[in-house]
Amino acid sequence: MRKTIVAGNWKMNASKESVNSLINGILSGMSDVSSDVIVCAPFPYLSQVEALIINSDLMLGAQNLNVNSKGAFTGEVSAEMIKDFGAQHVLVGHSERRSLYGETSTIVAEKTKAAVDAGLTPILCVGESFEERESGNTEAVVEEQLNAVVGLLGIEAFNGIIVAYEPVWAIGTGLTATPEQAQSVHLFIRNLLAGSSESIAQNTPILYGGSMNAGNAADLISCSDIDGGLIGGAALKAEDFLQICKAG
Ligand code: 13P
């Protein structure tokens, strides 16, 4: 039985003040939540969140990492540094990094490996653009993105990887995939993993992301292969985020 996981991706939205009130708001409602809950904060706020969530069930993640563990890489942050602030998770391959910062599936696979090697759990994001869906290439795109990681790390690494299916056309647009559309791709992903290992496929959490909100979360998460959500906009309001956490 896979546990429901809800992860918030704050993207580049935070201030010391907003982080305080958001985390305290989430913590105040956590006693009614049975899902695993993760917040992925921008780097400068990892320390603040680490201090706020101490002795709670809330988990911390980062949004990016460099493939190297240290050295002359000005402006970059390593998996070890992320771990140093108590984070257990890190997003890799978010579509904004793929499209805005040129992260190819090869780079994403290398980042996934750096995270796994350091003992972090990567949340590996995959998903097709609007044009790719319209031209019938959704499965081919997702397969290429996943295969790059399976090819570099091997299927066993998925014992420590969370997958997130995020159709690019649904991110920040208010256009949520229907539960049927999402379930169909989630099942495709699980079957793809099952081609290498049935048991790992059954145990790998696959989250949905893309305009998930308090109103649509329950319908999505109730699908058999949707194991939770990766939330952008709605993760910035404690009440909305908690409602999604409770939908699982
Ligand atoms: P929205 O929930 O704002 O659509 O963002 C989804 C996302 O990109 C999470 O990583």
Q: Ligand 1: distance of its center to the CA of 171 in Å?
A: 5
Distance CA 162, CA 170 (A): 20
How does pLDDT run along the chain (248 residues), one tens digit per residue?
A: 799 999 999 999 999 999 999 999 999 999 999 999 999 999 999 999 999 999 999 999 999 999 999 999 999 999 999 999 999 999 999 999 999 999 999 999 999 999 999 999 999 999 999 999 999 999 999 999 999 999 999 999 999 999 999 999 999 999 999 999 999 999 999 999 999 999 999 999 999 999 999 999 999 999 999 999 999 999 999 999 999 999 98
Distance CA 158, CA 146 (A): 11
Ligand 1 near 233 CB (within 6 A): yes
Distance CA 89, CA 102 (A): 22
Ligand 1 atom closest to Cα of residue 211? 4
Ligand 1 atom closest to Cα of residue 170? 4
The pLDDT value recorded for residue 125 is 99
In which element (H, E) is residue 35 found? none
Q: Ligand 1: distance of its center to the CA of 71 in Å?
A: 32
The pLDDT value recorded for residue 152 is 98
Q: Ligand 1: distance of its center to the CA of 231 in Å?
A: 5
3-state secondary structure of 31: helix
Ligand 1 near 64 CB (within 6 A): no
Distance CA 122, CA 208 (A): 15
Helices (H), 154-213: 179-194, 198-203
The pLDDT value recorded for residue 175 is 92
* AA identity, residue 82: I
Distance CA 93, CA 63 (A): 9
- Record the pTM: 0.98
Ligand 1 near 195 CB (within 6 A): no
The pLDDT value recorded for residue 248 is 80
Instruction: Convert 188-211 to b/e letters by CB count within 10 Å (16 or more is b).
Output: bbbebbbeebeebbeebbbbbbbb
Ligand 1 atom closest to Cα of residue 164? 10
DSSP codes joined into one string, 48-74: HHHHHTTTSS-EEEES--BSSSSSS-T
Distance CA 43, CA 40 (A): 9
Is the Cβ–Cβ distance between 45 and 15 less than 8 Å? no
Please give the positions annotated as active site. Answer: 94, 166
Q: Ligand 1: distance of its center to the CA of 80 in Å?
A: 26
Ligand 1 near 232 CB (within 6 A): yes
Ligand 1 atom closest to Cα of residue 234? 2
Ligand 1 near 94 CB (within 6 A): yes
The pLDDT value recorded for residue 155 is 98
Parallel, antiparallel or unpaired: strands 162-165 and 5-9: unpaired
3-state secondary structure of 102: coil
Ligand 1 near 231 CB (within 6 A): yes
Ligand 1 near 167 CB (within 6 A): no
In which element (H, E) is residue 9 found? strand 5-9
Distance CA 128, CA 168 (A): 6
3-state secondary structure of 215: coil
Q: Ligand 1: distance of its center to the CA of 209 in Å?
A: 6
